[in-house]
Chain A
Amino acid sequence: MPYIPHTDEEVQEMLAAIGAVSIDDLFDEIPDALRIDGLDRVPVGLEESAVSRLMQSRAATDTGSVSFIGAGAYEHYIPAAVWDVATRGEYYSAYTPYQAEASQGSLQLIYEYQSMMAALSGLDVSNASLYDGATAFAEACLMAVRANRKTKSRRVLTTRGVSPLYRAVANAIMAGQGIELVELPNRHGVVDIAALAEHAGEDYAAVAVQQPSFLGTLDDVDALCDWASANNSLLIGVCNPLSLAVLKPPGQWGTHGADIACGEGQPLGIPVSSGGPYFGYLVCRQPLVRQMPGRIVGRTVDLDGKPGFTLTLQAREQHIRRSKATSNICTNQGLMVTAATIYMALLGAEGLRRNAQACHHNTRRLAAGLSALPGVEQVFDTYFHEAVLRFDRPLEPVLDALADAGIFGGYPLGDAYPELGQCLLVCATEMRTADEIDAYVETLGRLLSDSRAA
């Protein structure tokens, strides 16, 4: 029997010890009307080799394309050591480190992760991670509403450069508590700082800005940060952690720095893998730590005065506070954080900087090549590693034709940004070779001129 060690003889002896005749007897407290004989609509079990063949063939169905999509999930090279070590059984098959003495490995690793995220963001304190970037944004907004002592406002003013997917998730999560996002208009792909004047004197628990924005552009975060603090709002920065190796980190924005930063941890050694599992990071200034959701690891000493690590500030959490907790969150994304910590240790600040620069230059090369084609123009000049291109025709047939040629051309922006109809968000990470970039330009050129001729 797969994964079940019992011999027939052992089963009989165990039943005898219980005082039961059969395994069926052990279910005699379930009312007869509810007991079933078996499961319909579930196939029979397969041998490991058969499942292996099945999955190999399904995985093969989805391979062979070259992707130029970013939009919140980025394909980066992951050194072999990362997942080789992260999937060791001692990490992979451990539970939440509630028994600290038997979990020092996971706990110390999380402490190191927290230290690395604090260093990258320029803020004081990190939690042990949340589910993904979108839920980290939602939790950051909820945290700001709880933490802002200067206002009882249940509104968060957000740029439209915050990922539309994150805003959708935050709305779904916050709706029940009556907390809403108010959107600032975009101008040339960034917030129009002059338009902020309309909101002066209004109550907002926080102002949220994504840097680089979903469109790849860069906002005047210093001005936004100072405006927020002048209006008694906290400032939430949403950042791609890779960008923090080269861009000014939230802790250094404006006069006082951002209060909270969050984002998607996936670029730190996690494969794109259809959208998950990833992890969300959340960091803040020290005075806000008691309003932070999720697990936090602290360093302390044991009975002999020897340093050790433990979960701390647990009075914030659901298993202690129940209905008064800061969040219902129970898990972090421990395994993902394990991989990300090893990834950051291997790359260091210098490795991250090199990757960030390579992504920037690859995307510039791609955008320059594509916008040289007739019918394609570049929309914004200043961007990190994603560029917006406007086409002179509907995108769907173009993207379909590209996909048939083995190229995922980018993310169409029209649904989320009606003002950017027929616009495409493209990204070329350090994974894309010069040949792949050139092939995209050449293929698109051929497709556009063919359909023009037709």
Chain B
Amino acid sequence: MDEINVLQGVLNGLTCAGWYVLVAVGLSLVLSIMNIVQLSHGEIYMIGAYVVYYFCVNLGISFYLGFVIAVLASGLLGIVLERVFFRPFRGKPDQALVLSIGLILVFQNIVLAIAGGTPKSYRSPFEGVVKIGSLALSTERLVIIIAGFVLIGALFLFIRFAKNGQAMLAISQDREGAALQGININRLSAIAMFVGCALAGVAGGLVGALFTLTPTMGATVLMKGIAVIILGGLGSISGAVLGGLIIGLIDGLVPVVTSSYMASLIGFAIVILILLFRPRGLWGHE
């Protein structure tokens, strides 16, 4: 019986891991390419979920169409944010951070004004339950795990093999050196924001079906994302995956024994320990 609970906890943990990694990778990408802590990243996730809700429930068209539009819209929003708000403050990370705090208020207020404060919910078309032995995992959770790991795998391949990906790597290692080699930092910052925000939109669209939507739903996700990238190492994609797995498994397994509150507390304690003994994170360099 216990063993089954633990395995079930692992499955839930993997779901959380897929979810957190999708959000954290965007934060990490923006941090390493643009040297900006984008605190309104959680709101991009929230907007992704609301766009799906709008197409799914308000217009009653289809989840899939809504999902595609949500991902594109989040990505484009990312490009706009980069161009309008973050590009003028390159090299002034403090001011960019405060601006992103302002954006939190803007996005929350706009969604609140349009959609209202009452919690919303929609159903994804991934119904049913997958059974493995005596373990059960709902299909929509399975989709999150798969989407998380497939997309992050694709991002790895992009960074490893595509020319733009290699350029991103170069910028994250040495911004000025990369610029001197003729790498267009403006264009790559826009690409990084597009990819990062689109991934947050994917997370929002898929995870939104599991919970209710509120305009403030981004805050929790932001906290998880920050924990993940500190744990894994700031600005490292592989670190974000490792950190996402650890924080995800804690959130899946600890509630089996005690409560989800303890899971948050343990996650926090681990972050503090990492900061004390290995501030560059588990996977970080320098």
Partners in one complex: no
